[in-house]
């Protein structure tokens, strides 16, 4: 009988407790409103080295992990047609150089001087002919014929003068065009010698010597040494909440169980139409001991904080604005900040008020 009584009592207590709804008290503590973001680690000024032309990689002058200097030649690309074009441009530059065309100028100047001398002599002779004609020593038609000769020599001199001017202009123009074509060809040929844009470190080499590359082919990744930034993607619905200097809590897959502090340093002013996200940049307050480019991360950007909020667990909130008091009364409350676990109660409850979890039925 004693055993039966005890068993009955135990079952009754168990059933009674089981039927009692789970309860909790309103607590007071800090709560943050956050915006979720995901992204990865990059080095400051990190960029992809891109081929600007088509050709074969002739030489790679760098190794992964190696430091490079700004304007250092890191990769050389070979293209025979470009080299031939540069040689031809150089030959044309030399051919059109004024110094190489001195003989043409000299020859025309000699012809011009000869024509000038003839015109001067013919002018002197014309004066004599006029004197003789005025004194009836020679016939009038002889004077007229010599006047024609004198005009012809003058016209020839004038024509040669203009020819010399045109020749000098043309030669100078050809020289300038030759120089420009050579410089353009040389610049194009220099594109085959790819140089580093920054002082930094080679983080990755994406191609091998002998491979064919075309314009916009990624060749390597270079970035600043030990100067890391966080590249985060924020949904378009949340971007208006983000401000510079806001604090961030960061979790890295390579540092499981740890959380790092960071802050917002830059907000991109344009949305990625494909992902419907904005890119923001951030920096660690203190860098983790070891970091590598492209490490993935998750972050919570703190946009609002209440250091002493009245809080209840989220599962105790019914229809976003109601709670059930311990006595069973349903009460409407006004809520504020909400995180994954708790909801801020702005009014409707006091600290240590006890509520029960809503019946799922």
- What pLDDT is recorded for position 15? 46
Cα 220 to Cα 48: distance, rounded to the nearest angstrom: 6
Q: Domain extents for the chain?
A: 36-45+225-303, 47-77+200-221, 85-190
* pLDDT value at residue 113: 92
Q: Are 194 and 48 in contact (CB under 8 A)?
A: no
60: DSSP letter = E
The predicted structure's pLDDT at residue 221: 92
Alpha-carbon gap, residue 358 to 361, rounded angstroms: 9
- Taking only the tens place, the pLDDT of each residue in 182-241 is 777 766 666 578 899 999 999 899 999 989 888 889 999 998 887 889 999 999 999 999
pTM of the model: 0.56
For residue 5, what pLDDT band results from cuts at 50, 70 and 90?
very low
Task: Compute the distance between CA of residue 263 and CA of residue 248 in angstroms, rounded to an integer.
Answer: 5
Output the pLDDT for position 360: 60
Class of domain 47-77+200-221: mainly beta
Q: Is residue 4 helix, strand or coil? A: helix
- Quick one: pLDDT band at residue 90, thresholds 50, 70, 90? confident
Taking residues 72-79, what's their average pLDDT?
87
Smallest Cα–Cα separation from 296: which of 250, 248, 236? 250
**DSSP output for 158-190:** HHHHHHHHHHHHHHHHHHHHHHHHHHHHHHHHH
Average confidence (pLDDT) over 302-317: 90
For domain 36-45+225-303, say whether CATH 2.40.50.140 is its number: no
Task: Tell me the per-residue pLDDT of 15-62, one tens digit each, with 9 for 90 and over.
Answer: 444 456 788 988 999 998 899 999 999 988 889 999 888 888 889 999
- State how far the Cα of 104 lies from the Cα of 175, in Å rounded to an integer: 14
pLDDT of residue 71: 92
- DSSP β-bridge partners for residue 335: 345
Start-to-end C-alpha separation, the chain = 39
Question: What whole-number distance in Å separates Cα of residue 272 and Cα of residue 274?
Answer: 6
Average confidence score pLDDT of the chain = 85
**What pLDDT, on a 0 to 100 scale, did the predictor assign at position 191?**
59
The two domains 36-45+225-303 and 47-77+200-221 share their CATH topology (first three levels equal): no
209 CB neighbour count, 10 Å cutoff: 11
Distance (Å, whole) CA 202 – CA 47: 10
The pLDDT tens digits of the residues spanning 137-155 come to 878 888 888 888 889 999 9
| pLDDT for 93 beyond 80 | no
């Amino acid at each position: 009988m004693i055993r039966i009584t005890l068993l009955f009592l135990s079952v009754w207590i168990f059933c009674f407790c089981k039927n009692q709804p789970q309860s909790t008290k309103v607590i007071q503590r800090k709560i943050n409103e956050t915006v979720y973001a995901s992204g990865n680690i990059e080095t400051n000024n990190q960029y992809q080295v891109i081929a600007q032309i088509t050709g074969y990689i002739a030489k790679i002058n760098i190794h992964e992990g190696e430091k490079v200097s700004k304007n250092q030649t890191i990769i050389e690309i070979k293209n025979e047609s470009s080299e031939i074009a540069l040689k031809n441009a150089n030959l044309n530059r030399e051919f059109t150089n004024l110094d190489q065309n001195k003989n043409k100028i000299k020859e025309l100047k000699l012809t011009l001087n000869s024509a000038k001398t003839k015109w001067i002599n013919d002018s002197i002779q014309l004066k004599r002919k006029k004197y003789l004609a005025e004194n009836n020593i020679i016939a009038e038609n002889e004077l007229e014929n010599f006047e024609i000769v004198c005009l012809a020599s003058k016209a020839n001199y004038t024509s040669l003068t203009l020819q010399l001017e045109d020749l000098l202009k043309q030669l100078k123009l050809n020289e300038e065009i030759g120089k420009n074509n050579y410089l353009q060809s040389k610049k194009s040929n220099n594109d085959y010698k790819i140089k580093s844009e920054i002082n930094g470190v080679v983080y990755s080499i994406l191609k091998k010597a002998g491979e064919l590359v075309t314009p916009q082919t990624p060749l390597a990744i270079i970035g600043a040494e030990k100067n890391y930034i966080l590249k985060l993607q924020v949904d378009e619905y949340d971007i208006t909440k983000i401000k510079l200097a806001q604090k961030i809590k960061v979790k890295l897959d390579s540092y499981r169980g740890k959380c790092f502090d960071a802050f917002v340093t830059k907000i991109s002013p344009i949305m990625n139409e494909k992902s419907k996200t904005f890119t923001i940049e951030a920096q660690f307050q203190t860098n983790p001991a070891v970091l590598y480019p492209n490490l993935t991360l998750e972050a919570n950007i703190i946009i609002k904080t209440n250091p002493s909020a009245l809080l209840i667990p989220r599962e105790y909130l019914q229809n976003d604005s109601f709670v059930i008091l311990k006595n069973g009364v349903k009460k409407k409350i006004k809520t504020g900040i909400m995180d994954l676990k708790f909801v801020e109660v702005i009014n409707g409850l006091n600290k240590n008020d006890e509520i029960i979890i809503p019946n799922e039925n």
